[in-house]
Amino acid sequence: MSLNIDPLLDEKFILTISQIFPEFLEKNLSVHAVREAFGPSKNEGLCYENCTSVEFQGEAKGKLFLAMDGYTKLKLLPKIAKSFHIDPTIRSHAASIMLEFANQICAELISEMKLGRFQIDILPPENLNNKLVPVDLENHRQYILIYFLKDEDAKEYLGRIYLVLLMQKY
């Protein structure tokens, strides 16, 4: 593995996420996502009612957290389950549905990064619901993207999704 680190790597990840995430939601769930906020963050930890982490390794190392509150999960879960052809009323499936949803979003991100000639792979998603996750700011740069979600057809507000990106410093 080469350590010729691209100085704009973080920006490439952010731009790719900013393109992939809204397109993914529109295509798979018919949900409109508008980026409300973006920026670097100095939070020393995170904790969300619903949080899935997907780690990536290779030329770039880090984690992407897909997080939301209970209201947003309640509104999105039936749409996600329908896109996977799963009965959303079976309570035991909720966690695995959310894990697979985050995994698919990260897989799209990594596929795009590979098209940009980055050698990166993802690890299996991890359920971090209601867990306090410390963030090591000495070894990671942290960015947060906040998306406002709306079902345009039903004219319904669906809440917010928080994407937290940790990039390992070199």
Q: Which of 40-44, 82-86, 143-147, 151-155 has the highest mean pLDDT?
A: 143-147
Q: Which of 67-71, 97-101, 163-167 has the lowest mean pLDDT?
A: 97-101
Instruction: Tell whether 47 is covered by a domain.
Output: yes
The CATH number of the domain holding residue 164 is 3.40.1550.10
State residue 2's pLDDT score: 42
pLDDT at residue 142 greater than cutoff 70:
yes
3-state secondary structure the chain: CCCCCCCCHHHHHHHHHHHHHHHHHHHHHCCEEEEEEEEECCCCEECCCEEEEEEEEECCCEEEEEEECHHHHHHHHHHHHHHCCCCCCCHHHHHHHHHHHHHHHHHHHHHHHHHCCCCEEECCCEECCCCCEECCCCCEEEEEEEEEEEECCCCEEEEEEEEEEEEECC
pLDDT of residue 1: 39
Q: Which domain holds residue 86?
A: 8-168
Task: Tell me how many domains the chain contains.
Answer: 1
Asked if residue 1 belongs to a domain, the reply is no
Position 136 pLDDT exceeds 80: yes
**In-domain check, residue 2:** no
Asked whether residue 3 is domain-assigned, the answer is no
Supply the pLDDT for residue 5.
53
pTM (2 d.p.): 0.88
- Residue 89 has a pLDDT of 66
